[in-house]
Chains A and B, each alone.
Chain A
């Protein structure tokens, strides 16, 4: 009996607490930068596509909702010929972002992706690629990779010696 009254009392007191419910969509949710929502493909500081088509995001995806095809430009720089995410399957686990060696694929604090037609949840590269570096500014994979793909020449990278002169015997 007493506990019953105590509960009623507590609930009564809650009426005077600060409201947690917000008036969505008029009022927007506050999301943290690391909130895992809509997936984007970012660009490097020079404006080039960061994605190198390594397929690691697709392999890491537990629901296999990422599909892409790597291709190359005339400099040997890899990029995805197509990049498709089926958001009707995506569980926003963020494994793709963890797997990405170039910071290309990132999850963003946006969840407003509802559609009336499920087919519209299939995002192609033009829907995913944004004109920003996202959460990791300043990183350019091709500056630290060993191969030359039009960004830097052999031996011009961040931590590289100039190319070996194979005709020299000097130690």
Chain B
């Protein structure tokens, strides 16, 4: 701790920080633009000027930029000094001289950092009478709108896009007072994190294009803390609603998970909630209308045994409610046997105590990273961004002696030049992370596993060496083993994307070998869906087992929870499964093939209309909260429906059904492996000073008019019985606990930059700790089936091709692809081949190949990927038109034209 004096008041502050972050941590309002807690200082905007004095007797002082000045002991500075204040105010006036008269039609208005800073410095009237500079805008794709006139040249966008996220196609052009931030020419911004520009930009140059379709100001949205549903990382998000439609997703800071940034799939994948084709009414097929729902259901629910199929995209509560309805022994995971096996293995590894499961934030500090059979950019995008940071921050260790503070971004980048941390990518095709990788291997999944075993072998000779490895692979394995052994924070990233158990086993072998060398290896696994870990922890048998159980004929009804089974296995198998039952009761919010097959279809809430708990890939239980009460009373959380069905089945009359008290507590009692999940957020009776936490900002408008067209008397606002949040603007106005923060706002700070007021120090964890509870460390046995025999090498087959599933950030996720903006970025179906294989089939790029998998036939255009090993064909994973393939798969390819 060092002592500094700000305006003659002494403060004890942390050394090693700059003055700007120190002032913000102390709660002092100092305007800034170019500094960003995740990106450091460059001193470009000249906005955070303060007066610095030599000593306590110095009355003259000098102006310095707070973001470029480190904290030293016995520092005397002044924020309120007239010269400093005037400097800041005049600086804004200069920046504003070319800023257009646009606030009324600017989407940033109301959450604009430039507005906030202008008000903060007191510049209220424009004195500049001369013509303003103008620019032409560019088309930047379906995610971002460009309005270049508003730019204040802080360089944050290129620093984020190029330096932080590794984008190539956004840059600064032209010179002097004409600098232009955009692409070389119009076109779609390629980077997967481009949406963050809308939050990084302090003004309205880059704004959310999907929000523009149904524009709402931040102050008018009903917001709730939520969890992204589109991959297994569980990034924290804020979801905002107005007039019954979900309007916007923004990042919710969680220092242990996503930090300041989320990917574009998470930001733009929300529109399935507003899909007009959603299930909105309970449907009972073959039933005459007019009967009460429970009357019609009585035969189905009370007659005969029920078989329950859970879902990795439904919450813990929903899966548990289904398990209680159908009974523990009749509850099945709605995933394939292969996937279930992989997840069992991963859970066993995570609970083995031999390896460390790092949080997403911790992966940013890995010094040597080995990625085995994953393409994080596509399967867990935010992890790819974290790995980029790992590569970028590693060389900073070497500058420790150079007297350059870590926050001085431009200087340290200059110092480390092109130095990078170690990252090795093993994946069948090129990935975006290859460009920052120090080594890579393009091989079949089996060979990637063998490579992993070889790495383990070179560290720990008791692991058998895989036979017949090519010399080059051996060499890179030896090098990798060497690097991992020397590393201080080694990280192995693996996962389920290639559906290969040996890869996961190999990752574990490396982890164990490192443990023997007394290194704590971080093992980070990428899982398929948002609650895959939670469902797997319930230790239920897989869908294949459910099919076998169905064939016994003892079940009358299948209850399928939020799961499109036709995506999980071949169509004929699922048809056979459904035919084994008299009735099928499907709960879902989407109209899909399974929903069409159902005899009873029950509409359920999406993440925006209900609440629940998800367990992410590092087994962090996180709570998401209901954003709004749907106008349609039939849209209710699955767990609410299922619990009522259970009560009804047990003989309760429909009008005597009880509301749930606390499903999570019962879940923890029934399954102790979830102990701690109930603490992920405060319980529903939590109050501060007897008050709820409002979902709406205090400026929320239109309360007495928004429903006046229906009836001029305002209805009573809905009451939330399941959480401490309220659906109105009334309630506690102070700082809510971190898991319950519905939006970031602080007096004078309307934009998302106000998040620093919610942190224990600027850029640090949230006050009261980052939300989410890790479920690791509960002594529950997960059977493993570990083995140490290395698998056989991949052999090319003459008659059929081994298929590898290639995940795509836009397209491979079931829900996000329903957003028109994401759908526009998703690839058309294709088949990727090595050109030698293509030659054998007499096809060239773009030609159509017929592919037969089992009894399914697909016509697919050829894409040549020469890095793909011969005998392998890449198929985009889980595109809507390519679902229903049982992975790992093999396919017979024939030339359609011959």
Contacts and interface: CB of A to CB of B under 8 A. Distances in A.
Among A55, A141, A157, A171, the one with the most B-chain Cβ atoms within 10 Å of its Cβ is: A55
Contacts of A70: 215-216
Contact of B701 (A64, A78, A122): A64
Interface stretch (A8-16, A29-37, A144-152): A144-152
A53 B110 CA distance: 13
Contacts of B898: none
Contact of A146 (B100, B174, B701, B712): B100
A159 B149 CA distance: 13
B471 interface: no
A128 to B, nearest CB: 12
A161 interface: yes
A88 B134 CA distance: 45
B101 A58 contact: no
A66 interface: yes
B704 A89 contact: yes
B706 interface: yes
Contact of B175 (A63, A159, A169): A169
Interface in B583-606: none
A59 B712 CA distance: 20
A54 B174 contact: no
A154 B135 contact: yes
Given A58-B220, A146-B150, A89 B136 contact: no
Given A59-B217, A166-B173, A147 B105 contact: yes
Contacts of A102: 104
Given A65-B705, A69-B214, A164 B178 contact: yes
A129 interface: no
A119 B132 contact: no
B708 A84 contact: yes
B147 interface: yes
B704 A160 contact: no
A93 to B, nearest CB: 14
A84 B709 contact: yes
Among B133, B174, B220, B704, the one with the most A-chain Cβ atoms within 10 Å of its Cβ is: B704
Determine the interface band of chain A, counting residues with CB < 8 A from chain B.
35 or more
A61 interface: yes
Determine the interface band of chain B, counting residues with CB < 8 A from chain A.
35 or more
A161 B105 contact: no
Contacts of B703: 64
A25 interface: no
A65 to B, nearest CB: 5
Given A65-B704, A67-B702, A89-B705, A163 B135 contact: yes
A144 B129 CA distance: 13
Interface string B103-130: 1110001100000000000000000011
B702 A66 contact: yes
Contact of A54 (B104, B135, B178, B712): B104
B214 A146 contact: no
A147 B147 contact: yes
Nearest to B182: A166
Given A55-B701, A64-B701, A171 B105 contact: no
Among B110, B212, B217, B705, the one with the most A-chain Cβ atoms within 10 Å of its Cβ is: B705
B150 A164 contact: no
Contacts of A63: 704
Contact of A145 (B101, B173, B712): B101
B219 interface: yes
B708 A149 contact: no
A146 B214 CA distance: 22
B732 interface: no
B102 interface: yes
Contacts of A69: 214-216, 243
Interface string A126-146: 000000000000000100111
A155 B219 CA distance: 32
B705 A160 contact: no
Given A58-B701, A122-B709, A146-B149, A163 B103 contact: no
B101 A144 contact: yes
A167 interface: yes
B176 interface: yes
Interface string A39-58: 00000000000001111101
Given A61-B701, A101-B104, A145-B100, A164 B712 contact: no
B53 interface: no
A52 B131 contact: no
Contacts of A107: none
Nearest to A169: B175
A99 to B, nearest CB: 10
B708 A67 contact: yes
Nearest to A104: B104
B711 interface: yes
Contacts of A56: 104
B104 A164 contact: no
A50 to B, nearest CB: 11
B132 A168 contact: no
Interface string A96-116: 000001100000000000000
Contacts of A145: 100-102, 104-105
Contacts of A146: 99-102, 132, 134, 147, 149-150
Contacts of B217: 55, 59
A78 B135 contact: no
A100 to B, nearest CB: 9
B712 A155 contact: no
B578 interface: no
Interface in A64-80: 64-72, 78
Contact of B132 (A52, A53, A160): A160
A154 B711 contact: no
Contact of A53 (B134, B215, B713): B215
A68 B702 CA distance: 8
Contacts of A161: 131-134
Given A65-B704, A86-B704, A89-B704, A159 B132 contact: yes
B705 A163 contact: no
A72 to B, nearest CB: 7
B180 interface: yes
Among B100, B134, B137, the one with the most A-chain Cβ atoms within 10 Å of its Cβ is: B134
A59 B699 contact: yes
A139 to B, nearest CB: 12
Nearest to B217: A55
Among B99, B104, B132, B216, the one with the most A-chain Cβ atoms within 10 Å of its Cβ is: B104
A122 B712 contact: yes
Interface string B670-701: 00000000000000000000000000000111
Contacts of A141: 104
Given A159-B131, A163-B134, A54 B706 contact: no
B518 to A, nearest CB: 57
A164 B174 contact: yes
A171 B175 CA distance: 8
Contacts of A71: 215
Contacts of B220: 55, 58-59
Nearest to B106: A147
Interface in B224-273: 243
Nearest to B132: A160
B176 A171 contact: yes
Contacts of A149: 105
A102 B103 CA distance: 11
Nearest to B129: A159
Nearest to A121: B712
In order of increasing CB-CB distance, the 5 nearest A-B pairs are: A146-B100, A67-B702, A67-B705, A58-B701, A54-B104
26 contacts: A54-B103, A55-B110, A55-B701, A56-B104, A58-B705, A59-B217, A64-B702, A67-B702, A68-B702, A71-B215, A78-B105, A86-B704, A86-B712, A89-B705, A119-B712, A121-B712, A146-B100, A146-B150, A159-B129, A159-B131, A160-B131, A163-B134, A164-B174, A164-B180, A166-B174, A168-B174
Given A122-B712, A146-B101, 6 more contacts: A56-B104, A61-B702, A66-B702, A88-B712, A122-B708, A167-B174
